[in-house]
Amino acid sequence: MDVAISRQLVDKIYEKRKAAALDLEKQVRECHLTGGRERINSIIDQLVDMFSNNLNALHVRNGGLIGLAGTAIALGVDVAPYMEKFIEHLLACFVDPESKIRYFSAECLYNIAKVSKGEVLVYFNDIFDALSKLAADSELSVKNGAELLDRLLKDIVAESAAYYIPLYPETERVRNEREERMSVLVTIPGDGEQEPRKAFSLPHFIPLLRERIYVLSPFTRSYLVSWINVLDSVPELELVTYLPEFLEGLLKYLSDPIEEVRIATENLLADFLHEIRDVTYVAHHLDERESLRKRQGDSLSRTDTADLRGSMTAESYDGTVLEVAESPFEANGTSDEGSGSPIRDEKGNGGMVVLVPGQGVRINYGAIIEIFIQQLDREQDEIQQSTALRWLAEFLTWAHEVMIPFTPRLIPCILPNLAHHVQMIQSVAIKTNKLLFDVIKSLPSPADQVQKAASIVTTTTTTSTRAEKIRTPPPTSRLPPVPAGSTSAPPSTSISNNTTRSGISPDSATQPTPGTRPSSPADSTGTGGQPPIQEEADPFDYQLTVNELTIQFLSEWEETRVTTLQWLIMLHQKAPRKILSMDDGTFPVLLKTLNDSSEEVIKNDLRLIAQISSLSEEGYFKAFMHNLLELFSTDRKLLETRGSLIIRQLCLNMSTEKIYRTFAEIIEKEEDLEFASVIVQKLNLILITSLELADFRRRLKNLENRQDGQALFTTLYKSWCHNAVSLVSLCLLAQAYEHASNLLYIFADLEVTVPMLVQIDGLVQLIESPVFTYIRLQLLEPDKYPYLYKCLYGILMLLPQSSAFNSLRNRLNAVNSAGFLHIAPKPAVVTSSRSRISRDDIKWQELLAHFRSVQVRHEKARRQAMGDGGSLHMSGYSDRDLDLGGLQMNQKEVSSERSNQRPPLPAPVGRTGALSPLNPKARITSGLNTGTATGQAVNGGTSASNVGFTSAPVVGAPQRGMAGSRRPTVDSGKKV
């Protein structure tokens, strides 16, 4: 440059430097017009040396920056070939310690960008990185200058980034070198030729954005958000395609301390979500139209398709897919101005096509979902968790097919948040869980998929047979012609085309899969040959989902455990043969869940167990009942607190008769006699008082039906013999009053203990309850039910004079005082309706003998528990005859019955040793410590006055004292 200009350009006064810059501008312009390229290079080198040398004075460096700005203004857009010489040194001044240098460097670059326009986009990455540092500058003037440069650069990007191609070989060379260094090659499809690459490369920029997105400065974060917003506003750039690259870092901005950053980030994410939804709708719409075209036939011409109302036809226009249709956004009420502009078809078709926004855009749903799954970690910020759940809920609404494979991973992310302490997260988690639940529930079951595949094979075989018969189509056939070299299949092979859309290549679709039948020659030759049909893999993994759900049983939140069981119930309904089998490890978990503290969890668990049992083999149900009784045996607290709930829910979800029959068969062979007595008492109380068993009680009343009531009564009777009072109540329920009165005579020879008196007290309270209303009314017909009086008076005689004694006596006296005098039964006159039952129908004598033998075993066990190993007798059964209501039994008969008694039955399978991995506690044997039976029956019992009116009675609460006083604890081995 001229010496005078050079001297004045480094003057300390700013005005002189500015005037020198104007003179330099004129000089450079003249050189440019005369082709003095070498001199311009020298001037630029001289200016770069002035402002890049840190040893120079401040005014010298400022003069160099002002001079460079003047040079760029003089060259205009032709400054591009020279930018490589100074852009790196200029950007280095952005981090200079002197604030004035930073300011003048930003001002200089502003002038350069203003005149170079799109050419500056080649250096966009370097400029963007330098500006991100100035955005957080501490000097206000520098920040203002950087903001002006930032606005200008955004305008250039929005206007030129989508299409601008470098005009100068030097700029194009720089761009190519940078992209090759970044391993980024982007081509634009053309008419068989590779078009020049654009000045701005989004793939080249994304790695830089991914690196810078994790900054902590709120100013830099705001800068990055604004730039992402600008790039996303350019439709041709399709920034949403690269969303997974920077989404994770962007989500962290939601927890930024600055409110402006949070709001800007939320708005940006909302725009991205809206854009993804629109792209998805377009893709679905195109798939539907493509399927419609295939159903109608490929021979439809473009004109025929255009005549269809609302149809969309895909046309190829220089490799760009164009759409003829009304925009789906307008149909949804979200029309966007300028969403599409008419473009003339240049191939001579004379048609008008409309470019639909979002068409051809590829969304990496999998990578996005992966990021949001990571955000649902408890360590993440709550706003990030709620945002992730909202996005997942949106995907489940309009892109649920991409969510199905992620279900096993979504389960442990969603279910724990159902009880989140933050209401916002909890509500969104509930919504997301419901949407995912409905999506999986709507999937076809494996059985339906097999049936559909079979029908497809049948249809394909039929089509092949028809094609074999008709080798050539008739002249009037409307089958579409197949162009030469085309690999299109006939309309009957649309299944293989669909598999191609699912990710199976056309080549692999024609290859036989391992394990399939090899194709015959007829299948591969001739016009009727069909390619083998492959069954598509199920995107939903049932077993992996069940494994994740099983882990949720360990959750401390009731809502999570309940929802887990609801999921398992739904999945088992869809695929009962694929999940939750007897040997898959879930059975012990379900059994252990019965000890849960939540009633709702227990109800759903029993519902699932009932469903599995009803859809499984009989062995599953029997094994469950055996293990349930073992659980009750080893965990008496569970039996007392949850026993009624468990049994009632089982009866509600399954056949009550099946449950009680199975219980009775197992209890009859039970070796632990004390436990057998307790569980019979529990089952009897549920049988009499529960509303769920109302129909079952009606069946027991009908003993005239040989195949129904009698067989059921006999089965229950044999196991009910373990508890004498429960057996009497069963007979009262079945209206077998004569047999009940015979049982009461045997009571005189039994060891009447305090637990037995408590149970008799409870029986009296049950008689006063609504369940036995019919018994109280039958007292008004003494001629028809004489043994009912004898039975009730027998119970009265067994009781000491307590409140129960007074209650029953008042009831009987009320009947007698009303004029219904008791009439003793006459053996010669048959008046009772129950006496019509033949003794051959129910073996009453055998039942009485079985009751005596069981009670002998109980008394022997009690004596052994107290350490008395002496001989056992029942008040001289062998020494005298017993008059049990007309039933004469002498010593010879008793001896014969004892000799015919069966030996003790072996323990059922699975009932010895440790219970299971669920409860390794050794089972309780009959050899109990002294006083164990009494302590459990008396101390853990229930009041008889509280029995009969609740839906879930508890056995064995402390009994109030006789005659109104508190009853002391009495040894169970002593008679009263």
Q: What is the pLDDT confidence band of residue 837, given thresholds at 50, 70 and 90? A: very low
Burial 283-305 (b: 16+ CB within 10 A, else e): bebbeebeeebeeeeeebeeeeb
The pLDDT value recorded for residue 939 is: 35
Q: State which of 349-353, 657-661, 880-884 shows the largest mean pLDDT.
A: 657-661
Picking from 436, 450, 425, the residue whose alpha carbon sits closest to that of residue 575 is 450
**Number of other residues whose CB lies within 10 A of the CB of residue 431:** 17
- Unique residue bearing structure tokens 């893999």: 537
- Band (536; pLDDT cuts 50, 70, 90): low
Closest by alpha carbon to 628, among 687, 579, 682?
682
Whole-number Å distance between alpha carbons of 307 and 302: 9
- Overall average pLDDT of the 739-761 stretch: 89
Q: Is 338 exposed, middle or buried (0-12, 13-18, 19+ CB in 10 A)?
A: exposed
Six token digits for residue 464: 């092949």
Q: Which tops the pLDDT comparison, 331 or 812?
A: 812
Torsion angle of the four alpha carbons 66, 68, 73, 77, in this order, in degrees rounded to the nearest 10: -150
Q: Quickly tell me which residue has 């929802």 as its tokens.
A: 563
The residue assigned the tokens 């969890």 is 601
Between CA 470 and CA 488 the distance in angstroms is 20
Residue 254 · residue 372 · CB < 8 Å:
no
Three-state secondary structure string covering 563-589: HHHHHHHHHHHHCCCCCCCCCCCHHHH
Average pLDDT for 249-274? 95
Burial class (CB in 10 A: 0-12, 13-18, 19+), 485: exposed
193 pLDDT higher than 50: no
pLDDT tens for residues 666-710? Answer: 999 888 999 999 999 999 999 999 988 998 998 888 776 656 678
Q: What is the pLDDT of residue 454?
A: 55
120 close to 83: Cβ distance less than 8 angstroms: yes
Q: Which of 14, 185, 182 lies closest to 100, judged by CA?
A: 14
The answer on pLDDT for 717 being more than 90 is yes
Question: What does the pLDDT read at residue 752?
Answer: 83
Helix axes 636-653, 673-689, angle to 10 degrees: 40
Q: Sorting pLDDT into bands at 50, 70 and 90, what band is 637?
A: very high
Q: Please give the pLDDT value at position 706.
A: 56
Which own/partner pairs from 503-511 qualify as long-range (CB within 8 Å, at least 24 positions apart)? 504/534, 504/536, 509/534
pLDDT at 825 over 80: no
Residue that is written with structure tokens 């009453």 in the block: 844
Query: What pLDDT is stored for residue 176 in this prediction?
Result: 78
DSSP string, 674-693: HHHHHHHHHHHHHHHH-GGG
832: confidence class by pLDDT, cuts 50, 70, 90: very low
Residues contacting residue 840 through CB under 8 Å, at least 6 positions apart: none
CA distance 186 to 146: 31
Six token digits for residue 509: 């679709």
**CB crowding 601-625: b at 16 or more within 10 Å, else e:** bbbbbbbbbbbbbeebeeebbbbbb
Q: Please report the pLDDT score of residue 429 as a whole number.
A: 96
The reported pLDDT for the residue numbered 239 is 93
Return d(Cα 190, Cα 177) in angstroms, integer. 23
The span from the CA of 682 to the CA of 641, in Å, is 11
Higher pLDDT, 5 or 911: 5
Q: How many other CB atoms sit within 10 Å of the CB of residue 799?
A: 20
Range in 410-419, 637-646, 889-898 with the lowest mean pLDDT:
889-898
- Comparing 412 with 842, the larger pLDDT belongs to 412
Instruction: Provide the pLDDT for residue 441.
Output: 93
Q: What is the pLDDT of residues 925-976, one digit of tens each?
A: 333 333 333 333 333 333 333 333 333 333 333 333 333 333 333 333 333 3
- Counting every residue, how long is the chain? 976
pLDDT at position 620 is 85
pLDDT digits 0-9 by tens, 205-215? 999 999 999 99
pLDDT for position 299: 44
Residue 464, helix vs strand vs coil: helix
Distances (CA, A) of 863 to 720, 855, 875: 21, 12, 15
User: What whole-number distance in Å separates Cα of residue 370 and Cα of residue 367?
Assistant: 5
Give the whole-angstrom CA distance, residue 425 versus residue 443: 27
* β-pairing verdict for 919-922 and 313-317: unpaired
Helical ranges in 363-422 per DSSP H: 365-375, 382-398, 407-414
Confidence (pLDDT) at 291: 79
Domain parsing of the chain, residue ranges: 1-180, 201-294, 699-818+843-864
Q: In 10 A of CB 183, how many CB atoms?
A: 9
In degrees, to the nearest 5, what angle opens at C-alpha 801 toward C-alphas 800 and 806? 125
Nearest CA-CA partner of 745 in 902, 889, 870: 889
> What's residue 753's pLDDT?
84
Q: Is the dihedral of CA 272, 273, 277, 283 positive or negative?
A: positive
The domain defined by 1-180 carries CATH number 3.40.605.10: no
Helix (H, G, I), strand (E, B) or coil at 669: coil
Q: Is the dihedral of CA 910, 911, 915, 918 positive or negative?
A: positive
Contacts for 720 with CB less than 8 Å, ≥ 6 apart: 664, 680, 684, 726, 727, 730
Supply the pLDDT for residue 451. 61
Give the Cα separation of 732 and 762 in Å (integer): 14
136: which DSSP letter?
A: T
- Tell me what the mean pLDDT of segment 396-404 comes to: 93
pLDDT digits (tens, 9 = 90+) for 265-318: 999 999 999 999 999 988 888 888 877 877 776 544 444 434 433 433 333 333
Residue 321: pLDDT band (50, 70, 90) is: very low
Alpha-carbon distances, residue 111 vs 13, 104, 591 (angstroms): 21, 11, 78
| Weakest mean pLDDT among 368-372, 423-427, 449-453, 749-753 | 449-453
pLDDT of residue 474: 40
Asked whether 53 and 89 are in contact (CB, 8 A), the reply is: no
Q: How many beta carbons lie within 10 A of that of residue 513, not counting itself?
A: 10
Residue owning tokens 């988690």: 429
In this prediction the pTM is 0.71
SS3 866: coil
Q: What secondary structure letter does DSSP report for 117?
A: G
What pLDDT, on a 0 to 100 scale, did the predictor assign at position 205? Answer: 93
Reply yes or no on whether the pLDDT at 135 is more than 50.
yes
Q: Of 43, 37, 36, nearest to 6 (Cα)?
A: 43
Mean pLDDT (the chain) is 75
pLDDT in tens, 574-631: 988 888 876 677 788 888 899 999 999 999 999 999 998 888 888 888 889 999 999 9
Model confidence band, residue 905 (pLDDT cutoffs 50, 70, 90):
very low
Q: Which band of pLDDT confidence, cut at 50, 70 and 90, is reported for residue 258?
A: very high
Looking at residue 297, its pLDDT comes to: 62
Q: 516: how many CB neighbours lie within 10 A of its CB?
A: 11
Average pLDDT over residues 759-787: 90
Structure tokens at 81: 């070939």
CA distances from 800 to 752, 797, 805, 945, 976 (A): 11, 8, 7, 16, 9
Residue 455's contacts (CB-CB under 8 Å, 6 or more residues apart) are: none
CA–CA distances in Å: residue 433 to residues 603, 673, 759: 20, 48, 49
pLDDT at 142: 92
Give residue 376's pLDDT band: very low, low, confident or very high (50, 70, 90). very high
- At residue 677, the pLDDT reads 93
Single-letter residue type at 248: E
Identify each DSSP E strand in 647-804 by its residue range. Answer: none
